A and B are shown apart, each in its own frame.
Chain A
Amino acid sequence: MTSYALFLGCTIPARQPHYELAARKALTKLGINLIDLEGMTCCAPPPLQSIDLETSLAISAYNICLAEEADLNIVTLCTGCFESLAIANHLLKEKSQLREKVNKILANAGKEFKGTKEVRHYLQVLMNDVGINSLKQNVVKPLDKLKVAAFSGCHLLRPSELLRFDDPERPRVFDTLIEALGAKSIPYKNKLRCCGGLLRGYADDIALAIARDKIVNAHNAGADCISTLCPFCFLTLDLGQMLIKTTYKEEYNMPIIHYAELLSLSLGVEPKELALDFHKVKIDKILEKIG
């Protein structure tokens, strides 16, 4: 039984408990032991990096220290958390001067970054710890009629030199995992382009325009749904469709669904166990297709 320290971040427990629920159920079913550590904070994503990069690095490092002390690798659900923590882990392991600087700051909190643990996204756990074959074997309700527009978001892939998660121009991991559930990962225009989520709260008009592009492209390609990994992407595209309706007077009814939810459903978890009412755009069509 592989154990990981589960890093939840802020947005998922605050806004998207259905993501957390689906992920916990799915990963537990697949034999991953998720441990909740005390003392974790925000991961220090772009909003905090915009205020001060050094502080953000220290905060990310602090969270990694907790995992080091518990002798556990970290797994994240949110790709934003993945990026901040994985990059911090990488930079501090590689650059001794930076590490010294950050450790001086951490000393104030009684912590020291040692660089002994890894930061992983749960897709990596699925690929490496569970394995594609084992995953396929556990699928009881294959999603074989489902056309999924896979949207991993930006922070799983880039900057690729630091994250090394997948080929940034030709990623395959996410698509492979979707197809392992029996669904089809369809090509669509500007698949790898950002959803604009981080502009919400500052330039809502631009954020909405970018989100709309994504919905339109998936729609034009004939997708049944867009599958996400990042809570910001989810919010932007799901709630975003309500705003698209009022602002652009367009209705697409494109279900937005986290991969963890698709995973749970295909593993046999009942829809009623998954708090699916958190979706603004109803996903009844998907549930019908899954059967």
Chain B
Amino acid sequence: MAEEKSEKPPAADFTREITSRLGGETIVHCYQCGTCASTCPVARTAEERYNPRQIIRLALLGQREEVLKGDAIWLCASCYNCQERCPQKVEVADVIYALRNLAIREGIIPAIYTEFAAGLTSEGRIVPISKFLEKKRADSGLPPLKPTGIEALKKILSATGFDKIMFKKEGVSQ
């Protein structure tokens, strides 16, 4: 069903906003043990820029602006180590997706995601396949690609309001 751009809720309700979204339900179980941060390959490589425990802490303290407008939520590599090892079964990676979903609804979206969305809505693939490459398949002995279900996909995207979500294309604050 179509989702209109919602009014900004008060910061104190940020937790509820997250838990009511698909993926964000388990954020409230977090007791800040730091296992996720310790096991995160991104945190281990660039800890000043990314710490999943800290993102959750900021979110639970209601710091909506800082979380959604920040650079950090885009730095998760979706490796799921955190979710695998969390002793409270917080779905950390899914919570990050939920936060990204919220940020995009505010119009905050890194360029690369716009590209992915464009590929999806035009061709049904996030990485478009050039006609040149398609022709080259036969040379290697690969069968021709079957057409994608772009028409059906468009109906699905319209039903969920995906196209409306993508209406703003601002950059992200670093």
Could you list which residues of chain A lie within 8 angstroms of chain B, going by C-beta atoms? 8, 10-11, 13-15, 17-18, 20-21, 24, 36-42, 45-55, 57-59, 62, 66, 104-106, 108-111, 154-155, 158-160, 168, 193-194, 196-199, 201-203, 206-207, 209-210, 213, 273, 275
- Kindly list the 9 A-B residue pairs having the minimum CB-CB distance in the complex, ordered from nearest: A39-B149, A194-B79, A158-B80, A201-B112, A109-B152, A41-B124, A154-B79, A10-B125, A46-B78
Q: Is there contact, CB below 8 Å, between A110 and B133?
A: no
Complex contact B156–A58 (CB within 8 A): yes
Partner of A50, one of B21, B113, B127, B166: B113
Closest-by-CB residue of B relative to A107 is: B159
Give CA–CA (A213, B127) in the complex, Å: 27
CB A290 to nearest CB in B, in angstroms, measures: 21
Chain B residues contacting A57 (CB-CB under 8 Å) are: 22
**8 Å CB contact of B79 from A21, A42, A55, A158:** A158
**Interchain CB contact under 8 A, B101 and A50:** yes
- Given A53-B22, A194-B79; A209-B46 close (CB under 8 Å): yes
Inter-subunit contact B100/A50 (CB<8 Å): yes
Interface flag for B33 (CB, 8 Å): no
B residues near A36, Cβ cutoff 8 Å = 143, 145-146
16 A–B contacts from the bound complex (CB under 8 Å): A8-B145, A39-B147, A42-B124, A49-B23, A50-B97, A51-B116, A52-B160, A53-B23, A66-B149, A108-B155, A109-B149, A110-B152, A199-B42, A199-B77, A202-B74, A206-B75
Asked if A275 contacts B75 (CB within 8 A), the reply is: no
Given that A21-B141, A197-B77 are known contacts, is A41 also in contact with B97, CB under 8 Å in the complex? no
Which residues on A sit within 8 Å (CB–CB) of B74? 202-203
B residues near A199, Cβ cutoff 8 Å: 42, 75, 77
B101 touches A41 (CB 8 A): no
User: How many residues from B make CB contacts under 8 Å with A?
Assistant: 67
Taking CB as reference atom, which chain A residue is nearest B133?
A: A14
B110 at the interface (CB under 8 A from A): yes
Least Cβ distance of B128 to chain A in Å?
7
In the complex, whether B173 has a CB less than 8 A from a CB of chain A is no
Write the B13-30 contact mask toward A (1 if CB under 8 angstroms, else 0).
000000001110000000
Q: What's the least CB distance linking B133 to chain A, in Å? A: 7
Residues 108-154 of B at the A interface (beta carbon under 8 Å): 109-110, 112-113, 115-117, 119-120, 124-130, 133, 136-137, 140-143, 145-150, 152-153
Find out whether the CB atom of A15 lies under 8 angstroms from the CB atom of B97: no
CB distance from B2 to the nearest CB of A (A): 11
Which residues on the B side are within 8 Å of A207 (C-beta)? 77
Residues of chain A lying within 8 A (CB to CB) of residue B59: none
Indicate whether B68 reaches chain A with its CB closer than 8 angstroms.
no
CB distance B126 to A48 under 8 Å?
A: yes
Q: List, in ascending order, chain A residues with CB within 8 A of B110's CB.
A: 202
CB pair A39 B113 closer than 8 Å? no
Measured in the bound complex, the distance between the Cα atoms of B22 and A11 in whole Å is 26
Asked, given contacts A21-B142, A110-B152, A273-B141, whether A159 binds B125 with beta carbons under 8 Å apart, the answer is: no
CB-CB nearest in chain B for A197 = B77
Contact of B145 among A13, A21, A197 (CB under 8 A): A13
* Cβ A55 vs Cβ B162 within 8 A: yes
Query: Which listed residue (A51, A53, A108, A197) contacts B113, Cβ 8 A?
Result: A51
Given that A51-B113, A53-B22, A110-B152 are contacting pairs, would A210 and B78 also be in contact in the complex, using a CB cutoff of 8 Å? no
Query: In the complex, which residues of chain A have a beta carbon less than 8 angstroms from the beta carbon of B155?
Result: 108-109
Q: Is the CB of B79 within 8 A of A52?
A: no
| Contact B136–A17 (Cβ < 8 Å) | yes
| Residue B35 lies at the interface, judged by CB distance under 8 Å to chain A | no
Q: Kindly state whether residue B84 has any CB partner on chain A within 8 Å.
A: yes
Instruction: Select one of B50, B137, B162 contacting A51, CB under 8 A.
Output: B162
A-side contacts of B67, CB under 8 Å: none
Among residues of A, the one whose C-beta sits closest to the C-beta of B94 is A53
Measured in the bound complex, the distance between the Cα atoms of B1 and A271 in whole Å is: 51
- How distant is the Cα of A99 from the Cα of B149 in the complex, in angstroms? 21
